[in-house]
């Protein structure tokens, strides 16, 4: 059942699983959890990503109305998806053109990389849309074991984070579009190529605005979903630890083991499907932080407004990175603690020749390259600081 447990937790290598879960995770769309956190799906739909299965009209009583509604949703989704892909294509072409003709390639090339990473993240999330829905359904099913648990605190905190990032993107994109934010230096190149038609320079500004808006929605929506899965997993682990001291019978202990196994299986599926988008997000935020910090620290002719814009963007990227990495690190720590507590209680009171249990947890990683832990925060910022000093010293 735990195929990679030995690799992630070598200290528990000698134990094998014999207890198997007696509960099957059933996919269900009903329940207050799915209704409360439906706001996670709304931004994805605005990006042309439909995660819910379309019902068969023949199996619905009010088939005419259902077919019309499904048809409208399908048309809107198709339009949004194609529109976003057009924006992405134009943005990549424009940034690649800037890199080719620009005098300061070192300032333009990171922008192209950021654009490519945002497009890659969107495409990856689009391809994983069914897996995201399945993870939500599995969490919904497991939360039915906690009918009295109040999720309002988690819900409102995630809504506040998503609202803040969206408003930040809108405000700063509008200001960037209005004031130019340094793009005026690039307009002579573009206007010269496009037969001195200033309309195209404003068209590029609009494309930049739309791309920035879509990019921030993709990143913040994925981080909201990542934080939600991590928070709920920690709730399950905390429930196991809180109730372990009350367990006296083997049957009750097996129920906690079953809950532990179900939670780990959800985390394993989550890690298997979405570790690559997590890696893209962390890489994107690191490049964004480095680029903004380098521009503020070493480029002296930047206007004051541009520096304010770059500093704010740097803190937004930093917020993205910290929220994702800290969520993953805390979840790994909770999984490790729960496994160790269960193992100690098993060895002390419930050990039997007929029953051997492996409590080795799965670990959330960045594309199976780096395990999520607190040291990742220091490592990432240390890496950026080192490269900043090198570029600042040798860049010219």
CA distance to 21, 317, 353, per residue, from 291 (Å): 48, 11, 59
Which residues, 6+ apart, have CB-to-CB distance to 60 below 8 Å? Answer: 66
pLDDT for the residue numbered 56: 40
| 250-299 per-position pLDDT tens digit | 888 988 998 999 999 999 999 999 999 999 999 999 999 998 898 888 88
Token duo for residue 371? 């395990």
Distance of alpha carbon 268 from the chain centroid:
16
C-alpha–C-alpha distance, residues 83 and 144, integer Å: 39
Is the separation of the CB atoms in 281 and 219 below 8 Å? yes
CA distance to 21, 25, 85, 361, 378, per residue, from 261 (Å): 7, 11, 40, 9, 32
| 208-246 per-position pLDDT tens digit | 888 988 898 899 999 999 999 999 999 999 999 999 988
pLDDT for the residue numbered 111: 83
Is the separation of the CB atoms in 237 and 337 below 8 Å? yes
pLDDT for the residue numbered 171: 77
Residues of the chain where predicted confidence (pLDDT) is lower than 70:
1-34, 52-66, 100-107, 147-148, 173, 175-201, 353-356, 395-396
Q: Indicate left, alpha or beta for 84 from its phi (over 0: left) and psi (-120 to 50: alpha).
A: alpha
Q: Which pTM was predicted?
A: 0.85
pLDDT for the residue numbered 124: 95
Query: Can you state the percent helix, strand and coil of the chain, rounding each to 5?
Result: 75, 0, 20
CA distance to 84, 109, 183, 194, 198, per residue, from 98 (Å): 21, 9, 11, 14, 17
Tell me, letter by letter, the H, E, C secondary structure of 41-90.
HHHHHHCCCCCCCCCCHHHCCCHHHHHHHHHHHHHHHHHHHHHHHHHHHH
Distance of alpha carbon 88 from the chain centroid:
19
pLDDT for the residue numbered 74: 83
pLDDT for the residue numbered 100: 63
pLDDT for the residue numbered 6: 39
Is the separation of the CB atoms in 31 and 137 below 8 Å? no
C-alpha triplet 311, 47, 55: angle, nearest 5°:
150
**Helix (H) or strand (E) run with residue 102 in it:** none
**What is the average pLDDT value for the chain, to the nearest integer?**
79
């Amino acid at each position: 059942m735990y195929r990679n447990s030995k690799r992630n937790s070598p200290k528990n290598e000698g134990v094998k699983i014999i207890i198997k879960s007696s509960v099957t995770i059933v996919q269900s769309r009903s329940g207050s959890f799915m209704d409360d956190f439906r706001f996670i799906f709304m931004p994805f739909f605005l990006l042309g990503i439909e995660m819910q299965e379309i019902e068969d009209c023949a199996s619905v009583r009010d088939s005419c109305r259902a077919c019309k509604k499904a048809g409208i949703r399908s048309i809107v989704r198709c339009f949004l998806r194609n529109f976003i892909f057009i924006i992405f294509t134009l943005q990549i072409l424009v940034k690649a053109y800037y890199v080719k003709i620009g005098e300061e390639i070192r300032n333009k090339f990171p922008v192209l990389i950021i654009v490519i990473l945002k497009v890659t993240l969107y495409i990856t999330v689009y391809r994983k849309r069914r897996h995201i829905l399945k993870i939500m359904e599995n969490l919904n099913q497991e939360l039915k074991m906690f009918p009295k648990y109040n999720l309002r605190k988690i819900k409102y905190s995630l809504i506040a984070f998503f609202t803040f990032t969206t408003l930040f993107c809108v405000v700063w994109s509008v200001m960037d579009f209005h004031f130019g934010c340094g793009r005026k230096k690039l307009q002579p190149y573009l206007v010269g190529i496009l037969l001195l038609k200033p309309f195209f320079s404003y068209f590029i500004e609009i494309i930049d605005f739309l791309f920035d808006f879509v990019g921030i929605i993709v990143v913040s929506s994925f981080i909201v979903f990542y934080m939600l899965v991590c928070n709920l997993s920690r709730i399950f682990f905390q429930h196991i630890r809180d109730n372990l001291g009350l367990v006296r019978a083997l049957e009750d202990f097996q129920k906690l083991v079953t809950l532990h196994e179900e939670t780990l299986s959800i985390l394993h599926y989550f890690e298997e499907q979405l570790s690559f988008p997590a890696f893209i997000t962390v890489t994107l935020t690191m490049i964004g932080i480095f680029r903004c910090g380098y521009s503020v620290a070493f480029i002296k002719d930047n206007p004051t407004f541009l520096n304010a814009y770059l500093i704010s963007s740097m803190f937004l990227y930093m917020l993205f990175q910290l929220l994702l990495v800290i969520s993953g690190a805390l979840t790994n720590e909770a999984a490790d603690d729960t496994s160790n507590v269960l193992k100690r209680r098993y060895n002390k009171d419930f050990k039997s020749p007929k029953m051997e249990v492996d409590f080795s947890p799965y670990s959330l990683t960045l594309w199976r390259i780096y395990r999520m832990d607190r040291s990742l925060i220091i490592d990432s910022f240390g890496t950026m600081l080192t490269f900043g000093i090198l570029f600042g010293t040798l860049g010219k």
